[in-house]
Structure 1
Amino acid sequence: MRENLKKMVTYYKPYKGLFYSDMFFAILGAAVTLAIPLIVRYITGSVVNRPLQEATGLIMKLGILMVVMILVELGCNFYISYFGHIMGAKIEHDMRQEIFGHYQKLSFAFFDNQKVGHLLSRVTSDLFDISELLHHGPENIVISCIKLIGAFVILLTINPKLALVPILIVAAMVVYAVFLNGKMKNAFKDNRRKIADINGQIEDSLSGIRVVKSFGNETEEMRKFEVGNSRFVQSKRKSYWYMGFYNSGMGAFSTLITVGSLIAGAFLMTEQQLSAADLVTFLLYINNFTEPVKRLVDFTEQFQNGYSGYERFREIMNIAPDIADRPDAVHVERARGEVEFDHVCFHYEDNPEEVLRDVNLSVKEGEYVALVGSSGAGKTTLCSLIPRFYDTTGGTVRLDGTDVKDICLKDLRSQIGIVQQDVYLFAGTIIENIRYGRPDATDEEVVAAARAANAHEFIMSMPEGYQTDIGQRGVKLSGGQKQRLSIARVFLKNPPVLIFDEATSALDNESERVVQESLESLARNRTTFVIAHRLSTIRNARRILVLTEDGIAEEGTHKELLERNGVYAHLYQLQF
């Protein structure tokens, strides 16, 4: 915990000026609050006993002074409320930037085992609670300590015997608070997990809303959501149970301080050991004594929320990217496109069973290679090793003779263009999605890429041409249109190595023909790997590799493989 708190404090570093000014005005405001009851004591105990004219003039002056002090307190409270929240928002911005940047560094293996809703909650609700803690935490502690210590000292000077009453009750209050704090911390952490589950359920349901509606399963989705939502209520019930005991107990202790002090003061007055003016002042300071305790109550709840959120934040930040640049990684401006697999083996980290076993393959610059095989044979996995979406568990993948692990990741992936079956388009316009292939491209270059991908004609028929909004994940486009935009994106990127991952298998015949033309145009003079489900699309390939669980079982042209009457011929006969 100490280590986490040290790291948390470092987020104040860029905003030292705001932090120190926030603390200054917090201290000033607390000091003003402590001073006003002393002036009241002076008026009631001394000024009222002076001659009428002198007393009236002094009361007017002291009244004006107190109004000025109230205005100062108002200004202090505004400053710490406004600028303190600004500081908190800036820290939240920095932390969100940090965790989002860290997400970008993590590999596919990490995201394979995570739910988007869980990751999202760490960027939103968790960080908000952390920023609230970092903003309010220090000022609450400072204000509370100043008021508590100041009121304690002043109460002792007024009457030491009477001061013992609030001191003893506050001591009991602290023991009570510490006991329930531990209980609340665990309950709040459970709340975090449950709300992350709900976020994941919502994200999953809304992303697949078309599937939900096509099956008429709205009621089923509501049932699943109700299960998660009810679990959240149960976890909240537990935390509110402890919170109820905590808040009600602290409130009772605060009232007990006032009642106990009043009764003890009344006894002292009967024994002539306390004046009425001192009792009034004492009771005024009781509020200054209990108010910071209540503030600390709020702080402890805030601390549980914020710190449990920070622990979840650190959980992610402490995950080291398993795929990263080596210290001596080399830069590559433009690769030729020779790819080699040397005794490559691979298995996923959560499954020791090998997906690829001792694969050897050499692909020359500009060569067109088709990969076929049954589902689960490892075709997509094999191609995913080239851009290092995953790292080999054995053997080496080389680009132009250099181990891909020795090439800077950014440079490596800039050499490779991927067109997948499941096209992902971002919410926004057509031109923004094509430009994603090269963010610094001009409008003219984007249009040229669209023409090369056979997409320009359908784009110009859209309501606003290239500025047409395509909706979330390109929902306003057909499958063929989305695929051509993804091809245009790769045309714009202009990489020497291409991977087509069953790029036409989900399209109708007409769309497949147009997209196939675009793919062939894109593949010209580039090293190309085609993962094919429809064998009809690779009949003209000069080199077809048949992948099985034991590696590359067969290799040759379409005609040669049919004549061999092996695995490929069997797959072909199943399709035709």
Structure 2
Amino acid sequence: MTFLRQFWDILEGRRRLLALSVLCGLAFAGANLLPPLMIAKVIEWITEGGGSPDELALLSASLLGVYLLRGATRYGYGRFSHQAAYGTLHELMIRVYRHVQGLPHRFFSGERTGNLISRSINDIEAVEDFIAHGVPETILALVIPVAMATILLTIDTELALITLIPIPLAGLLIFRFVRRVRVMWRQVRSALSELIARVHDNFAGIRVIKAFVQEDVAAHHVERHSAAFRDASIQANSVSLLPAGIVEAAGGIGIVLIVWAGGSAALAARIEVAELFIFIIYLGHIYQPFLQLASINDVLQKAAVSTDRVFQLLAVETDIVDAANARAPEDPDWVVEFRDITFAYDEADGPVLRDVSFVIPAGHVVAIVGHTGAGKTTVSHLLPRYYDPQQGSVRISGHDIRRLPLDWVRGHLASVDQDVFLFHGTVGDNIRFGRPDAIDHDLRAAASAANADEFIEQLPAGYDTLIGERGVRLSGGQKQRLAIARAILRDAPILILDEATSAVDTHTELLIQEALTRLMAQRTTLVIAHRLSTVRHADCIVVLEQGRVVETGSHDELLAGDGPYRRMIGAQELLTEVGG
């Protein structure tokens, strides 16, 4: 019943099309009953006399009309079911994508991308296949045998009961196998998800695989997952195909019974030859839909498992949502405050940040520094509400961001992340992602401010050059500058620069620092960097150790003291001397 409820929900907006498909299918089933009855009439005229050329002509014309009706209704139920299927495929894919896109970062940290792709595409395709083929074929497989069996019972009840004996026996056997198949197909879909996830990981990390000469190891992992998918599929199919074999055998037994019992009745003159003809023809049609139904069972089980997997994904809820009374401030001053923040990604692992408090005045630059694992990047994740703290609050213009509309908060932020992500598309597309409605002049100005215009003009097609997936055709420094240009074009009042210059050479870093200094003059900026040379001119530096604020002050103030910041500066200078 769960599958039926889920399936009914999926068909919202497409139920009328599916109803038209079912109606065409019923008309096709009705038209399927008539030809044997009409041909039997001709046999009756031949064996027992009667009929005339005019009656034969009328019957032939009627038979032609029936076959034309069969063709039209067959086309109709196929077309309407496919329209419903492809419409559902599109809407369900968008529904799942929008839902997954809105889930919090915590969800994605625990899921493999390949697994999400499988559930968002492959599982939905299995549902589409069932709507397009399974539903109409199931209707026909149920209606045609019932209608034909009813007619046979009216012709000769005893003979009909004898010839239909194999049907309930076959049904009992099939039911035993069907209960096992769904579990097996769930294992198949899970194995396919793991295979897709592994292939996706390997292709995403192809450079690392080649750099460490691990092609054989990577291929072995794919082979292992592929073998698991193959074995699960073979095992599921070995059971799924049994119903088809059972129905085929039952149909043969039914034919043998009609030849034996029906032939004996005809020889004894208890039934007419025309009636025996109807029994033989109908019996073939009765078992054929059951054979199709047995094959459809495979599609049904895949669809049932896939539908369940899709709804499990849709059932995942986000905890990063707008408050019921969320409202944007009327005159924001763009002051950012972290007030008594304690945060843990997983409470079992303990807090990453503990009682962190600091203020970024409007138009000022605050830099967060600390050793690896101190919690610097986590701070940058809390400002755009990728996560909510367990204690304390992040505030913009004095308002807890949990009380502000989420789109408003993120709409007034621009960021350059530590791990630059560029989309497969042109240079211009990736810069314009920061502000899709930007005109070309603004786009080029942003690229110039990020010192990216020079290398862009040298590309084969300039701003129209395709950069490949994740910007694979660009160097690290070029990707970094495009990300900065994207943030500049965004023109947001609050900036987050996480390792913003970590992937560029010294010369380019100086040029970018000049551009960022001009950009940050009127903006509230949070800078996170390991290289302390990039934050010397910050208005305030916040030093983190093990998730706690241990020092705050300007570069000169902290350097004059004898705290962690001075020791980090000394350590980096020593490394620079050794490296030199």
1:366 is matched with: 363
For 1:155 and 1:293, how far apart are their aligned partners in 2? Answer: 17
For 1:220 and 1:138, how far apart are their aligned partners in 2? Answer: 44
For 1:48 and 1:270, how far apart are their aligned partners in 2? Answer: 14
After superposition, the Cα gap between the structure-2 partners of 1:519 and 1:257, relative to the gap in structure 1 and judged at 3 Å, is: farther
1:358-400 deviation per Cα after TM superposition (whole angstroms, max 9, x unaligned)? 1111221111111111111111111211110011111111111
For 2:369 and 2:420, how far apart are their aligned partners in 1? Answer: 20
Q: Does structure 1 residue 407 correspond to structure 2 residue 379?
A: no
For 1:46 and 1:126, how far apart are their aligned partners in 2? Answer: 56
1:440 is matched with: 437
1:505 is matched with: 502
Q: What's the secondary structure of 1:259's corresponding residue?
A: helix
For 2:347 and 2:282, how far apart are their aligned partners in 1? Answer: 62
Runs of 4+ in 1 over 6 A off after TM superposition: none
1:543 is matched with: 540
Question: Which of 199, 204, 207 is 2:204 aligned to?
Answer: 207
Question: Which of 151, 156, 164 is 2:153 aligned to?
Answer: 156
Alpha-carbon contact 1:334-1:415 (below 8 Å) kept:
no
Out of 59-68 and 217-226, give the one that drifted further: 59-68
Deviation at 1:188, TM superposition (A): 0.3
1:532 is matched with: 529
Question: Which of 115, 119, 125 is 1:118 aligned to?
Answer: 115
- 1:47-446 equivalences under 5 Å are 49-50=48-49, 54-332=51-329, 335-349=332-346, 351-446=348-443
1:77-96 deviation per Cα after TM superposition (whole angstroms, max 9, x unaligned)? 12222332122000110100
Counterpart residue identity of residue 175, structure 2? V
For 2:471 and 2:157, how far apart are their aligned partners in 1? Answer: 75
Deviation at 1:4, TM superposition (A): 4.4
For 1:530 and 1:542, how far apart are their aligned partners in 2? Answer: 11
After superposition, the Cα gap between the structure-2 partners of 1:525 and 1:476, relative to the gap in structure 1 and judged at 3 Å, is: same
Alpha-carbon contact 1:431-1:446 (below 8 Å) kept:
yes
Alpha-carbon contact 1:34-1:288 (below 8 Å) kept:
no
For 2:547 and 2:199, how far apart are their aligned partners in 1? Answer: 41
1:214-257 deviation per Cα after TM superposition (whole angstroms, max 9, x unaligned)? 22221111111111111112211321221233322222122222
CA-atom RMSD in angstroms: 1.8
Q: What's the secondary structure of 1:505's corresponding residue?
A: coil
Alpha-carbon contact 2:363-2:524 (below 8 Å) kept:
yes
Alpha-carbon contact 2:6-2:311 (below 8 Å) kept:
no
1:12 is matched with: 11
For 1:404 and 1:50, how far apart are their aligned partners in 2? Answer: 92
1:97-123 deviation per Cα after TM superposition (whole angstroms, max 9, x unaligned)? 100000111010000000111110112
Counterpart residue identity of residue 5, structure 2? K
For 1:278 and 1:515, how far apart are their aligned partners in 2? Answer: 92
Deviation at 1:454, TM superposition (A): 2.0
Q: Does structure 1 residue 474 correspond to structure 2 residue 446?
A: no
For 2:537 and 2:360, how far apart are their aligned partners in 1? Answer: 17
Q: What's the secondary structure of 2:527's corresponding residue?
A: strand
Alpha-carbon contact 1:484-1:518 (below 8 Å) kept:
no
Deviation at 1:57, TM superposition (A): 4.1
Counterpart residue identity of residue 423, structure 1? V
For 1:123 and 1:86, how far apart are their aligned partners in 2? Answer: 20
Q: What's the secondary structure of 1:568's corresponding residue?
A: helix
Deviation at 1:189, TM superposition (A): 0.4
1:151-174 deviation per Cα after TM superposition (whole angstroms, max 9, x unaligned)? 111111221111112432111111
Counterpart residue identity of residue 113, structure 2? V
Alpha-carbon contact 2:435-2:490 (below 8 Å) kept:
yes
Alpha-carbon contact 1:194-1:228 (below 8 Å) kept:
yes
For 2:400 and 2:406, how far apart are their aligned partners in 1? Answer: 12
For 1:351 and 1:335, how far apart are their aligned partners in 2? Answer: 37
1:277-305 deviation per Cα after TM superposition (whole angstroms, max 9, x unaligned)? 22121010002211221222123221111
Counterpart residue identity of residue 552, structure 1? V
2:37 is matched with: 38
2:578 is matched with: none
For 2:525 and 2:281, how far apart are their aligned partners in 1? Answer: 82
Counterpart residue identity of residue 547, structure 1? L
After superposition, the Cα gap between the structure-2 partners of 1:497 and 1:210, relative to the gap in structure 1 and judged at 3 Å, is: same
Counterpart residue identity of residue 487, structure 2? V
Question: Which of 482, 492, 495 is 1:495 aligned to?
Answer: 492
1:27 is matched with: 26
Count, aligned residues: 573
Structure 1: segments with no counterpart, 5+ residues: none
Q: What's the secondary structure of 1:46's corresponding residue?
A: helix
Alpha-carbon contact 1:335-1:496 (below 8 Å) kept:
no
Alpha-carbon contact 1:121-1:199 (below 8 Å) kept:
yes
After superposition, the Cα gap between the structure-2 partners of 1:237 and 1:95, relative to the gap in structure 1 and judged at 3 Å, is: same
Deviation at 1:350, TM superposition (A): 6.4
For 2:216 and 2:520, how far apart are their aligned partners in 1? Answer: 47
Alpha-carbon contact 1:344-1:360 (below 8 Å) kept:
yes
For 1:566 and 1:129, how far apart are their aligned partners in 2? Answer: 62
Alpha-carbon contact 2:244-2:295 (below 8 Å) kept:
no
After superposition, the Cα gap between the structure-2 partners of 1:490 and 1:208, relative to the gap in structure 1 and judged at 3 Å, is: same
Deviation at 1:56, TM superposition (A): 4.1
1:454 is matched with: 451
TM value normalised by structure 1: 0.95
For 1:298 and 1:244, how far apart are their aligned partners in 2? Answer: 7
For 1:112 and 1:350, how far apart are their aligned partners in 2? Answer: 15
Counterpart residue identity of residue 236, structure 2? S
2:577 is matched with: none
Out of 2-11 and 234-243, give the one that drifted further: 2-11
For 2:268 and 2:497, how far apart are their aligned partners in 1? Answer: 96
Alpha-carbon contact 2:81-2:133 (below 8 Å) kept:
yes
Counterpart residue identity of residue 253, structure 1? A
Deviation at 1:486, TM superposition (A): 1.1
For 1:272 and 1:504, how far apart are their aligned partners in 2? Answer: 99
Counterpart residue identity of residue 10, structure 1? D
Counterpart residue identity of residue 488, structure 2? F
Structure 2: segments with no counterpart, 5+ residues: 574-580
Deviation at 1:336, TM superposition (A): 2.5
Alpha-carbon contact 1:452-1:521 (below 8 Å) kept:
no
1:60-91 deviation per Cα after TM superposition (whole angstroms, max 9, x unaligned)? 43233223322221122122223321220001
For 1:359 and 1:140, how far apart are their aligned partners in 2? Answer: 63
Alpha-carbon contact 1:480-1:515 (below 8 Å) kept:
no
Deviation at 1:546, TM superposition (A): 0.8
Q: What's the secondary structure of 1:13's corresponding residue?
A: coil
Counterpart residue identity of residue 34, structure 2? A
For 2:331 and 2:258, how far apart are their aligned partners in 1? Answer: 82
Deviation at 1:492, TM superposition (A): 1.5
